[in-house]
Amino acid sequence: MRTFARGAAEWGVECPRRPGRTAGVAMAGFRIQGPEALRMIPHPAVTLLLEFGDGRPVIDCAAGRQQRGSFVAGPGLGSGGSTRAHGENIECVQVRLSPLVAHSVLGASPADLSGAVVSLDDLWGREAARIRERLGDARSWQERFVLTDALLARRGRAGRPVDPEVAWAWHRIVGSRGLARVDALAAEVGWSRKRLWSRFRSQVGLPPKQAVKLVRFDHAAHRLVAGEGAARVASETGYADQSHLHRDVMAFTGATPATVAGEPFLTVDDIAWPGRATTAVPEPAGRSGTFPRVLAGQGVRRA
């Protein structure tokens, strides 16, 4: 387990040694000590947190709401900068789910989450308590990852996949790092704009334009954390200028680019999620900009 210290908080971070069985799923283990409250930075994935330690994580949400223990949150958790996480002696497995597999794994559409934090007990009932007990009884982090992987694979097999057209649009957005032309997506898949927008929103949890902005922000934020200057990041990640980047970062996090560059959640990302695999999903086979009519092995369904 690698250790990362920030102020009074100390993080232990563990990664799986083997890839999981479900595409679009990435996980990491955390052991966190210290009372420092951490800003939740929006990410283009559905977040599933499975806690099993002596302490319970606490999420302070907008409007004074609070969530304790294991939870699920839709894409963009923390948008606006009003969400904080805190707690002591926390042990948990955090899973990032591509929106394309979230519905089948969770048994609920990302659209039903709408960026909110939902108790896993409310979503999964007794199964949430069973997985917590099994994770606590496991003898190692690698055993916990195997247990979590098996759980997600089983649930994913029983769930409903997304439309191939929606999957294609998401891959185009992610593959372009948020530079895809939103108006062209419908033409690429052969749907009307209204139909794509409706299906995309209901199955991914965000409208295409917001998904583009979130993916672009995520890429820019990690370049800022890597030490690149804001002017360069803005010019190379699709922003009109540095002021445009500043406004977008403020809208997503409530903080300036300089502040976001030092956020612990983003700093730990490269340790916990090497390559940030959840968003780096390869596009389906086919010529760039052309929607293939057969998407074998992509875990998507026909309308």
Distance (Å, whole) CA 102 – CA 150:
15
Q: What is the pLDDT of residues 26-37, one digit of tens each?
A: 999 999 886 677
Question: What is the average pLDDT across 213-225?
Answer: 95
Q: Binning pLDDT at 50, 70 and 90, where does residue 2 land?
A: confident
Average pLDDT, the chain: 86
Report the run of H or E that residue 251 belongs to, with start and end. helix 242-253
The order of strands in the sheet holding 46-51 is 2-6, 9-14, 25-33, 90-97, 46-51, 71-73, 117-119
Q: What is the pLDDT of residues 115-124, one digit of tens each?
A: 689 999 999 9
Overall pTM surpassing 0.75 (yes/no)? yes
Question: What is the average pLDDT across 191-202?
Answer: 93
Domains of the chain listed by start with CATH number? 2-158 (2.60.120.10), 164-272 (1.10.10.60)
Q: What is the pLDDT of residues 161-182, one digit of tens each?
A: 899 999 999 999 999 999 999 8
Q: Binning pLDDT at 50, 70 and 90, where does residue 114 land?
A: low
